[in-house]
Each structure stands twice: as C-alpha cells, then as structure tokens.
Chain A
C-alpha cells in the first residue's frame, strides 16, 4: 500500500503535495504546470521561513512565487551542495527535525542534512515508486544480499549506509552480507574474501542475489575471484546489481561502466538489464535510477538542468556543465534548487529508447576541485591536511 503523507502546511504546499502524490515517476505528461506551481510554493515557503534564503533571493532581485514557465526555471538560481555541507540553516523549528544524515565526501568534509518527517518520507516514497516502476521490486521473492557498504554500527549515521540498509526492503532478505566489516574503534575494513565466500554460498542457493552499494568494491571482488581462478558463478536472472555512490576515493582505479557491466555479466551471470547504477546525494534526495538501457531519467518530482561552469547559464542538451536539480519537496532546509559538485550532460528522453520520455543525464566527473597544473597549492590538498 502506498503510504499517504502530508507536508507540514497543507495549504501553502498543496501543489507540492499533489506533485509528490504522483505515483508514476515517468508519466508521458510531465505536468510542468504543476511542477512550477509546486516550485513557487516551495520557494515562498523557504523565503518566509529562512533568513539566509530570503537574503539570497533578494540579492538576486527575485521575488518568490513568480516562476511563469520552464524557461524561467532553467535560469533560476541554485544553491551549491557545498553550502549545505558546511552550514545548517533550517526552515522549520528544530523540534520538527526527524532525521540527520551525514555523508562522507572525498575531501573529508562531512555534511549534515536535516530532514523533517515530510521531506524524508516523501523522498523514501519516491525511491519506492521508482523501484516499482522499473521492476526492481520483488516482494514475493526472497533474495540474498551482498551490501557493498559499511556494516551498520549503533550510533552511525552515514548517509550512504542508511540508503543501502533502506534498499534491502525491495525484496525480502534471506541473508545480508556487508562488504565493509566493522573492526572496532569506529573503523571498517573491506573483507574481500568474506565477500567471495558469501557469493559462493549464495550461488549454491536457488534464489536471486542482490548486490547493492559502491561499484568499486564489486570490481575488487571480481578481480579477487579472477586472481584465485574462481567462477564464473551463475545467479538467477532475477538477480540485481544496484550501484550507488560512485568510485569516490578509488577514482584512480575506476574502470569504464561498460567494462564493469561486461565483467559482472561474465563472472556472475547477472543480465545487463538487471545491472543498474543510480545517482543520489544527501543534499538532493530524489532518486535517479538507471532504466534498462542504463540511463538515469529524471522523475516527475524533480527537474534537472545543466549550467555552464563559468556563467551558470543553462546550456543545451549534450553540453557539459554543472549538474543542478529542482526539488520542491524539501521543506526542512532550502534545498529546493541545488547545484551539485558534478559535471554532467543531459539528453532528451527519446534519445534513450526505453520508452521513458523524461530526459536523462550522464555524470562526467567531479566539478569544483581541480588538480592544479601548477605548483600553487590547491584547496583539495589543504582540506585534506587541515581536517
């Protein structure tokens, strides 16, 4: 049963509610009008309740609630995700905060995102809806889980671990094996052998396997298998490889996506169209999960834009730039328009061919830190040292 939830203020956020009530993430009609209305409401919400956001919007000489068309939306000012990494700025009273998530950035900066009940539940419902729509929900069939993420430890609140734990709800779990084992004193270690044994164990059973989490560790596991002359293993075609979070600290070892897909098909027998990557972030909690053609389409509850890295103007399809999102469902903090620290390019839905009509985007890399081509010290280096 799809849960019914309501935003903090039904009247002021009525359009937001109607938008989020849409159960089909990829309708043919994207309902731009409703989206604009929801955005206007969301902007007004934060303008009235958040000092920073009000000053911010005033500094751009924009009044809330005035968006008339998608064109105007495309140029609407976004707030960089880094701001939320380093500042707590609430649009609701602190007592209404239901969940605080931290995310581990590659530069060692930890961000804290605060969610009220509505924001977190609306976001979770979106994940459910997308899973259902993409055929990734399999509540009748038990599965074994290999989670490529941190073993839960009481008191830990890492965003990505939280997500992974949440994602085991789409098929009942027989066994859950975590790749990053807790070794005490707040530390985890990657247990490559344990993972391989778990997979062997799972392969001897007849039920699907669901591998969820950081793609880098899957690659290391497959490498280990090859090095030891193991496999290939053959898993049920209803198995799933669901990756999230990117290669992060292992960026130097990253292999092309097609390569990982091929390797997974070969070593584990999981069919290509059951191999899905996803994009998400603590600062923008709308899920972007790959369609069977490995494209991340934008669901009805958000809009994506690509912004020129120098001018921040919107750029056309196919042109790389900052990835940005509009998400009117966020009520706790003014993250209704967020500029990500990722470089990406966007394409129309028709270019994919899977039948989903909303556009999709490709991540091209991080944007916002650079390896200097010079001997001047860079922010990245100093951050690593200072923390």
Chain B
C-alpha cells in the first residue's frame, strides 16, 4: 500500500511507514540551513494567488469538492486563500512581525552600538493541524516558510488532498527553486506510531492546532528542547458597558457575529458580559437582546448542528432551565429551536454549546480580571460596546484580564493584516532571535547584507534615459514623498518614493555612512545641505542621521558662514556633512575661528565629485582627521552606494540591497568588457512609488574587480565623471539648456562649456563662443535667466561664469572623431 507524500516539494511514493521514517531525518536536514528569501516567497505567492483567482488549478477545487463542500463554499475558500497569498498582505506581515523584508540579515537594532541582531528560523517545523479545516494546514506551513523553516505538514485524512496539492502548487510557482526543498507533507494518522515518532524526532519546533488534549499529547511526545507553538482553542465574548445597554445597533452587530457561522470560530462570541449589578437590568437587557437575535437570526440560514452537537445544546439549555426553576437566571428560547439566550445571574464566564446559544452574565469593571481568571489562557476576542470615552479604560481592563484582542461588535471575525494571533506574532514564534556583539570588528559594520553574494537582476528592458524618466507618467497612488528631479527644464518633475521606500533607502544609507566611518555614539553632526523647493539633500541627511541616532545640528546651507561657525562651536559639532564646495568655502571663510575651536574631526561630503586636493586641504590645513564621501546617490534613483574605509576617492560599494548596477558600453547597450569604462545603468530592486529599470543616470564608471579588504561582497565601481546632457555642478545642469538659452539671445553657433577648478572648491564655468558673434552682457543675462539652476549655482558662489570669445581653432576637439567637444570637465585635474 503506497503512500504519496510531498517530499522536498515533489511527489514521492513510499511503500511502508518504515521507509518514510528511515529517510525523513536525512531529507529534512539536507534542507536545513538553506536560505528562503522573502522576495522568493512573495513572488511565488503572488503567482499562485493569481492562478487561484483565475481557476487555473482545477485539482484544488476538485479536492474540496471531494470533502463534500458546496460550490459556494469552495469559491469562498479559494477566494480567502488567494487573499492571503496577496504579496501586499504578506509584505505587511513580514514588516509588522519581523520588522523587515530581510529579517534574516543581521543589522544594528540601535545604530549607536556595535551589536547586530537578526531573526533566524527554528529549523525543522512540524505542523500538526486540525481535521476540521483544510485551509489551516497549508496556511500554517506558509507562515513557517516565511520564517525560513523547513516545514513538515502532518495532514489528516479528513482534510483530504487539498493541503498537499496547494503546497505542491506553491513549490511549482516558485521560479527561484528555493522553496521546494523546504516543503514536506504527508497524510498520516496520529496512531501510526512509526511515522509519528520519526516526525517528532525530526522536529525542532511543532506548531499544534487543536484542543487541550492534542496540545498535551504533542508536548509529551516531543523532547524537552523542542519548541511547542500551540494554537489552542479559545473563547471569545461580547461586552456591553453600562452606557451601552440600550444600544440596539451594537446588539444587532453582536447577533451578526453569533449567527454568521454558528459561533464556530475561536473569535465568535460565546457570551455577553453586561456591566450591571442589578438583576432586573440584566434580564431586561437579555430580553431586548433576544428580540434582536430573533430578527437577525432569521436573515441567516442555519447550518444545523450534528447530533452530538445538538445534544450538547439541549443539555446546556436544560441545565439553564433548572437553574431558572431554582430562581437563578432565565432561559429565553426560540420556539423553533434555532437560537437561545441563557441568562446567568452571577458573574463568571461559561462556555456556550454554540449554534446560536448566547450566555449572558453580569460583570463589574474592577473585578474583570478576577472574573475571567479561570479562563485566562483561553481568552481571545472581546467585542466591546461602550461610549467612546470609555474605550481606553475598558480595553485596558480587558487586556489586563487576559483578552488579546478587542474589537467592535460585528467585527469579531475580521482580521487586519499583521495582526497578532492569540497574543503573538506567528512569525516570531516560529523563529529565534540571534545576536552578535564584537566592539572591535563591528565598529564600521552596521549590517551583514553586503557580505552576502550580490544578487543580479537581469532584464531585457531597454535602457532608460533622463528624457524617458521625465516623460513616464508617474503612478501617484504610492507616491508619498516627492523630491525635485534634478536638471530638468520647464515644469518641475519629481522623483517619488513611498514612505517605506524612503525609510528603506535612508536606513541603508545610514549603514553606508557607518561603513564610511560615522560613529553615531560620539559624532555630533552639522548638516549643511541645501533645503527648500523639494530638494532632497538636507532632508535625506536629516533622515539618515535620525536613523543613525547621531547628534544632529540641522544648520542647512545658509548664507552666513560666521553664523554656521558660531553654531558649530557653541554646540560642539565635530562632524560636518556638506557639499564639497560649501565645506571648502566655510573653512576658508572661518579658518581661524574653526582652527581655534579645533573640534572638527570628520567631514563627509557628497553631491559633487570630491577632489583629492580638497581632501588634503581639509586634513592638512584645517586639522580634520577623516574626509570621506558620505553617500553616492541620485535624486532620481535614490541611494546608490557608499565608501567603506578601504575605498579610495571615487570608489564606491554598490548599495546592493537597494540597487542593481550595470556598466554598459557608451555607444551600445551591451555590458562593457572587463576593465572598461561605461555608463552607469541602475535598476532599483524594491521601490514601490516609481519603477527604475536600467536607468542611465549619466555617470561614467568602471568595475573594480579586486575584492575589498573590508570583506564585503557588494560590488565596487569607480566613478569617472559624467556623460550626456546633464552635468553636476552643485545641482544638475543641462548642456542643452545652455544651447537653448543662447538661441534665445540670438546665438546659434558653436558652443563649448569647460569646467575647471578655481581653488577653494569653487568652479569656473567657461562658456566658449565664437568670437565676434555675440554680445557678452546679453549672453550672460540670457544664460542666467534661461538655464535652470545656473542662477542658484552662481548665487551661492559655487561657480563663476565666464564667457570666453574663442577664435577659430580655439575650440577643443575630440582627437579620434574630430568632433567639437561640447562639454569638458577639468575639475578633477589639479
């Protein structure tokens, strides 16, 4: 007699229980230690969810049909499962329960301390599931899988094939092929001791769904070190405060909760607790409620109880009748036998035999904990009906007494995504929390992500240009933070992030800054970036420092250097974050004051190329010990990279968890040969608000192949300047904007723009025009007026603009093509 099992995501037949028992341990331990990336789970679930909704897996429906389910019920079941497989729902669950979409990557819980923590799977997780619900089985396994475990489902014959079929479909839906080996399942009776013993032996954890007997049986069957995660039976109730005793709407809502599935759920109300000490008031309420229950009950066709269940209902009702004969309590029953209200005069919860049997009893607010004490471990949901101003007090009283969930009447059976179940986050219960602390070695390491093999993101998409970026219609539905997209003309264009996108990028950037040498515990940072008009730099560094919890002086790029120095000295800043030219100007302007203060030790620069000259100047002339690039980023594509302590000027580790970077040939779209220089093309992995796929950000770079001494495996690139229409001079400026501005002034002949360093971080922007064809002042005015961003650049004294009348032959040309070079950047030259 052959048994078909799900074995590493594939069907496998076994002839005897001994065979299964013999092979189990080796098979599951072979899968231990393998990584299950949340992304793979989300993608597989999304694909499977779609297939479910489109009816593409008929054998699942057939399996439910074989259990005797009606077509309506089958549709409802499929729909509810598809809803769980929704990637947004699951992502929310990861975020809420494990705090991250990369929960297994160790990172600093407090950026100030060199301690890393992470979640890690338990190992082999056995699922012992109830035989009354074919959906609990696969969904329990899904949670175990999300937590990274190897899962074994002990299915029951009464659930039929549905659970195993669904899990097989999940394995098939996974394109990465990593999920299959984590899934095992077999339909076996608890009496089959040979197999059961093997299952218990193999388990590092057991998720048990069932009543006390089942839970006890499992506890005594497994070893002492095995974690038992029990999801036991629960009792839920409705609660009316003194002020809500006449609330008919609330009563209707409770009646709905009672009737809709015959009180079969752990969150269905079995009782109503009424806040009163007056017997008459209690009985009057009960009669009012019974009248409402009668009305509402008529709207819900009855799912009648089995013989055993009906016997229990009858027995409970009889006992209540006898109490009434003894002068205690009352029975208010539907003559048709469909519903009944059993009133008890004394406080104290009591279980209902269900099937529209509601037990009503009094309670006193300050004695609630005492009253509910005997049932504490079984308490789950309270549907609370009270005045708004009482919600806090009553909810807390309920929490204190053991209730894990308080909702409005009528909503007892509903859940929100990420909600703790029975007082716990399932994903946490299926995990371990692990930590590493090593002061010395982890000084510059805020997370282990970049020590993993980088993950490529292959795509056939065409390369996106700035123009493409600008002209693509944005999906505003997920855009929550807008930054001005640099270097644009005409109507402002924005680069958009969702708050989650933004937070993810800023947290990553904070890690990058720590890798660069920021010490959040001791560094006091002056944030001197520019703000206003939707510019992102000040804002992002504000956020980065907030993530890092470093001391921050949000000074900004103000005009008054003396005032900046004043703040620096008064508030003892020892770290400066700024654009290179601005920092240079600050130091130049306030050289004496700052030297006298002597407190500035670190300077982190970004937004512009950092010349080695400047670096030297800071250190030698101004006493700074560490000058490094803060972050390599772009307004449009976000945070791109960071420099660890071993990265020389211009070299960056790619922020691999956020971006996938390609270097493609300047003239074609193919990757450059090894060592070659090419265009930086960026694809963002996880951004919701805007899709960045193979976006040419205008930088030139080449791969750095030598492994970095820091040990990180995140790939490195060396930046080699800009290409294309956009160049960076503080903000981004557009070459074609210069051409158009000149046209407006009546000049349409040759033009050449040359950037050169002017010392002190300033730039000289020379516009070479053909001698004799222009009027200097007119041209200058036109440029200032019509080149977006140029007036700002000149205004803050980043650059000086010089119009140079050039004789023929005075223009530089490209040696190989003979073409006139439109734009020459000489700033990196000494």
Q: Which A residues are within 8 Å of any B CB, using their own CB?
A: 52, 55-56, 59, 79-80, 82-83, 86-87, 309-312, 320, 322, 339, 341, 343, 365, 367-379, 381-382, 384-386
Whether A374 contacts B264 by the Cβ 8 Å rule is yes
Whether B314 contacts A310 by the Cβ 8 Å rule is yes
Give bound CA distance, A52 to B322, whole Å: 8
In the complex, per-residue mask of B308-319: 1 if CB is within 8 Å of any chain A CB, else 0: 111111111011
Q: Which residues of A contact B353 (CB under 8 A)?
A: 370, 379
Whole-angstrom distance between the Cβ of A125 and the nearest chain B Cβ: 30
Q: Pick the interface stretch among B265-273, B763-771, B796-804.
A: B265-273
Closest 6 CB pairs of A and B: A377-B233, A367-B311, A375-B266, A374-B264, A370-B308, A368-B315
Q: Which residues of B contact A370 (CB under 8 A)?
A: 306, 308-309, 311-312, 353
Q: Which residue of chain B lies nearest to A80 when distances are taken between CB atoms in the complex?
A: B318
Whole-angstrom distance between the Cβ of A50 and the nearest chain B Cβ: 11
A374-B265, A377-B234 known; A312 and B211 CB under 8 Å?
no
Give bound CA distance, A376 to B413, whole Å: 12
Give bound CA distance, A210 to B236, whole Å: 52
Whole-angstrom distance between the Cβ of A57 and the nearest chain B Cβ: 9
Whether B315 contacts A378 by the Cβ 8 Å rule is no
Give bound CA distance, A24 to B689, whole Å: 92
> B337 at interface (Cβ–Cβ under 8 A)?
yes
> B103 at interface (Cβ–Cβ under 8 A)?
no
Whether A378 contacts B233 by the Cβ 8 Å rule is yes
Whole-angstrom distance between the Cβ of B346 and the nearest chain A Cβ: 14
Whether A376 contacts B312 by the Cβ 8 Å rule is no
Q: Can you show 21 pairs from A to B with CB atoms below 8 A apart?
A: A56-B325, A59-B325, A309-B307, A309-B314, A322-B314, A343-B307, A343-B308, A368-B311, A370-B308, A373-B264, A375-B233, A375-B234, A376-B233, A376-B234, A376-B265, A378-B351, A379-B353, A382-B374, A382-B375, A385-B212, A385-B374
Q: Which residues of B contact A56 (CB under 8 A)?
A: 322, 325
Q: Which residue of chain A lies nearest to B211 when distances are taken between CB atoms in the complex?
A: A381
Whether B374 contacts A386 by the Cβ 8 Å rule is yes
Whole-angstrom distance between the Cβ of B400 and the nearest chain A Cβ: 21
Q: Which residues of B contact A374 (CB under 8 A)?
A: 132, 264-266, 354
Q: Which residue of chain B lies nearest to A54 when distances are taken between CB atoms in the complex?
A: B325
> B425 at interface (Cβ–Cβ under 8 A)?
no
A311-B337, A367-B311 known; A372 and B322 CB under 8 Å?
no
A373-B264, A375-B233 known; A83 and B311 CB under 8 Å?
no
Among A310, A339, A341, A385, chain B packs the most CB atoms within 10 A around the CB of A310
A59-B325, A310-B310, A381-B212 known; A375 and B375 CB under 8 Å?
no
> B378 at interface (Cβ–Cβ under 8 A)?
yes
Whether B211 contacts A371 by the Cβ 8 Å rule is yes
Give bound CA distance, A375 to B200, whole Å: 23
Give bound CA distance, A376 to B270, whole Å: 9
Q: Which residue of chain B lies nearest to A57 when distances are taken between CB atoms in the complex?
A: B325
A80-B319, A374-B132, A375-B209 known; A381 and B312 CB under 8 Å?
no
Instruction: Choose one: B233, B266, B311, B313; the contact of A381 (CB below 8 Å).
Output: B233
Whether B265 contacts A339 by the Cβ 8 Å rule is no
Whether B311 contacts A375 by the Cβ 8 Å rule is no
> B552 at interface (Cβ–Cβ under 8 A)?
no
Give bound CA distance, A371 to B307, whole Å: 12
A55-B325, A373-B264 known; A83 and B233 CB under 8 Å?
no
Whether B307 contacts A82 by the Cβ 8 Å rule is no
Whether A375 contacts B322 by the Cβ 8 Å rule is no
Whether B264 contacts A376 by the Cβ 8 Å rule is yes
Whether A83 contacts B374 by the Cβ 8 Å rule is no
Give bound CA distance, A82 to B317, whole Å: 12
> B263 at interface (Cβ–Cβ under 8 A)?
yes
Q: Which residues of B contact A309 (CB under 8 A)?
A: 307, 310-311, 314
Give bound CA distance, A322 to B318, whole Å: 13
Whether A376 contacts B375 by the Cβ 8 Å rule is no
Q: Which residues of B contact A343 (CB under 8 A)?
A: 307-308, 311
Whether A83 contacts B319 by the Cβ 8 Å rule is yes
Whole-angstrom distance between the Cβ of A207 and the nearest chain B Cβ: 41
**New A-B pairs, 20, CB < 8 Å, besides A59-B324, A377-B351:** A55-B325, A80-B318, A309-B314, A310-B337, A311-B337, A320-B307, A343-B308, A343-B311, A365-B308, A368-B314, A372-B354, A374-B265, A375-B209, A375-B266, A376-B263, A376-B264, A376-B265, A377-B266, A378-B351, A382-B235
Give bound CA distance, A374 to B314, whole Å: 19
Whether A368 contacts B322 by the Cβ 8 Å rule is no
Among A86, A311, A376, chain B packs the most CB atoms within 10 A around the CB of A376
Give bound CA distance, A131 to B354, whole Å: 44
* B301-359 with Cβ < 8 A to chain A: 306-316, 318-319, 321-322, 324-326, 337, 351, 353-354
Whole-angstrom distance between the Cβ of B682 and the nearest chain A Cβ: 49
Among A312, A365, A370, A381, chain B packs the most CB atoms within 10 A around the CB of A370
> B130 at interface (Cβ–Cβ under 8 A)?
yes
Whether A376 contacts B268 by the Cβ 8 Å rule is yes
Whole-angstrom distance between the Cβ of B233 and the nearest chain A Cβ: 4
Q: Which residues of A contact B316 (CB under 8 A)?
A: 379
Q: Which residues of B contact A371 (CB under 8 A)?
A: 211, 308
Q: Which residue of chain B lies nearest to A78 when distances are taken between CB atoms in the complex?
A: B318
Whole-angstrom distance between the Cβ of A2 and the nearest chain B Cβ: 37
Give bound CA distance, A219 to B98, whole Å: 53
Whole-angstrom distance between the Cβ of B344 and the nearest chain A Cβ: 14
Whether B314 contacts A312 by the Cβ 8 Å rule is yes
Instruction: Choose one: B212, B231, B263, B321; the contact of A384 (CB below 8 Å).
Output: B212
* B680-714 with Cβ < 8 A to chain A: none
Q: Which residues of A contact B306 (CB under 8 A)?
A: 370, 373
Give bound CA distance, A312 to B306, whole Å: 15
Give bound CA distance, A80 to B374, whole Å: 26
Among A322, A372, A381, chain B packs the most CB atoms within 10 A around the CB of A372
Among A59, A339, A343, A381, chain B packs the most CB atoms within 10 A around the CB of A381
A82-B315, A339-B318, A370-B308 known; A375 and B265 CB under 8 Å?
yes
Instruction: Choose one: B130, B270, B309; the contact of A375 (CB below 8 Å).
Output: B130
Q: Which residues of A contact B315 (CB under 8 A)?
A: 80, 82, 341, 367-368
Q: Which residues of B contact A310 (CB under 8 A)?
A: 310, 313-314, 337
Q: Which residue of chain A lies nearest to B234 when distances are taken between CB atoms in the complex?
A: A377
Q: Which residues of A contact B231 (CB under 8 A)?
A: 375
Among A82, A83, A377, chain B packs the most CB atoms within 10 A around the CB of A377
Give bound CA distance, A373 to B233, whole Å: 11
Q: Which residue of chain A lies nearest to B316 when distances are taken between CB atoms in the complex?
A: A379
Whole-angstrom distance between the Cβ of A111 and the nearest chain B Cβ: 13
Q: Which residue of chain B lies nearest to A311 when distances are taken between CB atoms in the complex?
A: B337
Q: Which residues of B contact A55 (CB under 8 A)?
A: 325-326
Whole-angstrom distance between the Cβ of A128 and the nearest chain B Cβ: 33
Whether B374 contacts A369 by the Cβ 8 Å rule is no
Give bound CA distance, A312 to B317, whole Å: 12
Give bound CA distance, A368 to B318, whole Å: 11
Q: Which residues of B contact A365 (CB under 8 A)?
A: 308
Instruction: Choose one: B213, B266, B307, B314; the contact of A376 (CB below 8 Å).
Output: B266
Q: Which residues of B contact A80 (CB under 8 A)?
A: 315, 318-319, 322
A320-B307, A385-B212 known; A373 and B132 CB under 8 Å?
yes
A377-B211, A381-B212 known; A52 and B325 CB under 8 Å?
yes
Q: Which residues of A contact B265 (CB under 8 A)?
A: 374-376
Among A56, A382, A386, chain B packs the most CB atoms within 10 A around the CB of A382
Instruction: Choose one: A59, A86, A372, A386; the contact of B233 (CB below 8 Å).
Output: A372
Q: Which residue of chain A lies nearest to B324 when distances are taken between CB atoms in the complex?
A: A59
Give bound CA distance, A83 to B325, whole Å: 12
Q: Which residues of B contact A375 (CB under 8 A)?
A: 130, 209, 231, 233-234, 265-266
Q: Which residue of chain A lies nearest to B308 when distances are taken between CB atoms in the complex?
A: A370
Give bound CA distance, A341 to B596, whole Å: 95
Q: Which residue of chain A lies nearest to B312 when distances are taken between CB atoms in the complex?
A: A370
Whether B312 contacts A368 by the Cβ 8 Å rule is yes
Whole-angstrom distance between the Cβ of B237 and the nearest chain A Cβ: 11
Q: Which residues of B contact A59 (CB under 8 A)?
A: 321, 324-325
Q: Which residues of A contact B263 (CB under 8 A)?
A: 376
